[in-house]
Structure 1
Amino acid sequence: METTGSNPRLGADERKEQLLAAALETFGAKGFNATSMNDVAAAAGVTKPVLYQHFESKHQLYLELLSDIGASLITAIEEATQRAPGPREQVEESLRAFFHFFGDEPANFTVLFGEGVRSDEAFLDKLAMVEDAHTTLTADLIDIESLSRDDRVVVAHSISGMLEGAVRRWIQDGKRHSPDEVAELISEVAWRGLRGVGSGH
């Protein structure tokens, strides 16, 4: 076990989790380009050599952070929709989970959708994997028999893009409405739109 820093007896997995939490805080506040490994180490209360024992570079650290955020987002949505009794409620619960995930920790949004991601191909590939997973999950919630699977994916992709923009604006506006209020409003609009598609209108 490591004996460096303010948490001297953390195991490898616990230390890595601690470092990822510090990285989320630091990258969320300063962005990828302005953040150094020294910044992350300082936020974690460890020396830079300890940080490099777990992540060989800032690039690798950010990639793992993207994976961690993406997996946590998908898990949160899956767990929320599993508790819902029907399709209408599943749509609302998925949106509620989405807004809570980013509203409760805005750094998740900054890291996942920030400018640093757009400037690196590996980051973009990781983001695309997260977006594809979210699109697939959303497509599974679209309970419209008249739509083919491909059509459901197209609609789900549009919804995912809309949600990214909605969360960005919501955070920029200071989150004047609660995650539940925003989710309820958008789910109502989305559900009516989906019903309209299903009826051919």
Structure 2
Amino acid sequence: MATDAPKSRLPGARRRALIIEAALAEFAAVGYEAASLGRIATAAGVARTVLYDHFDSKLALFSDLLATEEDALLAYLSAALESEGSTEQRWRATFDAFFRFAAEHRLAWQLLYPDRPPLDPEASDAYRLSRARHSRVLADLLAADARRAGLDPVTVEARAVFAMHRDALVAAARWWQAHPEVSREEIVAAAMAALWTGFGGMQPR
């Protein structure tokens, strides 16, 4: 005689991973304001109450995602910036790592660099703090190269140079996503032509 065996209960870590995966897709697709915890719970295959066991609010879930994906991107960039070779070689590797992250982690990239950042004050603060931390870590990683170029990393000039490079790479990644026929090698070469030219010209001969 057939019996109704109870369904196995997913471990907490697995449920959390499913929630995060569903939330990343939701936030990347529709942005913070339009994101729905109900849709996230449904996509993760959990009850909404289970979602709240892991994250007590949409803001908490959004902030956790930002930190997680920011760390993933910084891991890509850190490995390149800390590699062996000349400054030019490291920067080429770093540009390549940025574009590789954009290609391999499209949802994460869209979360970190949305077309329209959050308008909600608390979410906007979380996003702003994430970007500030990201810029601070990158500035630390670039400090040695900046000093060799005669730039004090803590000056306004250096911070402006870093910001211009970051924003130019983001714009280039958006353009590349709209032109999939362009190879990663080609977009890296274009970025080097546009961005390394100025910074490399400051390097001591």
TM-score normalized by the length of structure 2: 0.81
- 2:4 corresponds to: none
Q: Secondary structure at the match of 1:117?
A: coil
* Structure 1 residue corresponding to 2:176, chosen from 151, 167, 170: 170
Q: Secondary structure at the match of 1:177?
A: coil
Q: Is the 8 A contact 1:80 1:93 kept in 2?
A: yes
TM-score normalized by the length of structure 1: 0.82
Unpaired runs of 5+ residues, structure 1, are 1-5
Does 1:158 pair with 2:159?
no
| Counterparts of residues 50-65 of structure 1 (less than 5 Å) | 50-65=50-65
- 2:95 corresponds to: 95
- 1:134 corresponds to: 138
Q: Deviations over 1:95-128 (max 9, x none)?
A: 1111111122222222112224354223222232
Partner amino acid, structure 1, of 2:113:
F
CA distance in 2, matches of 1:199, 1:81: 19
CA distance in 1, matches of 2:168, 2:53: 39
Identity within the alignment, %: 25
- 2:76 corresponds to: 76
Bigger mean CA deviation after superposition, 162-171 or 116-125:
116-125
Does 1:117 pair with 2:118?
yes
| Counterparts of residues 21-32 of structure 1 (less than 5 Å) | 21-32=21-32
RMSD (CA atoms): 2.5
Q: Deviations over 1:162-183 (max 9, x none)?
A: 1122222322x24332333212
Q: Alpha carbons of 1:127 and 1:81: their partners in 2 closer, same or farther (altered >3 Å)?
A: closer
- 2:200 corresponds to: 195
Q: Is the 8 A contact 2:81 2:142 kept in 1?
A: no
Partner amino acid, structure 2, of 1:167:
A
Partner amino acid, structure 2, of 1:160:
R
- 1:8 corresponds to: 9
Q: Is the 8 A contact 1:66 1:112 kept in 2?
A: yes
CA distance in 2, matches of 1:142, 1:181: 26
CA distance in 2, matches of 1:157, 1:199: 22
CA distance in 2, matches of 1:18, 1:40: 9
- 2:39 corresponds to: 39
Bigger mean CA deviation after superposition, 137-146 or 72-81:
137-146
- 1:144 corresponds to: 148
Unpaired runs of 5+ residues, structure 2, are 1-6
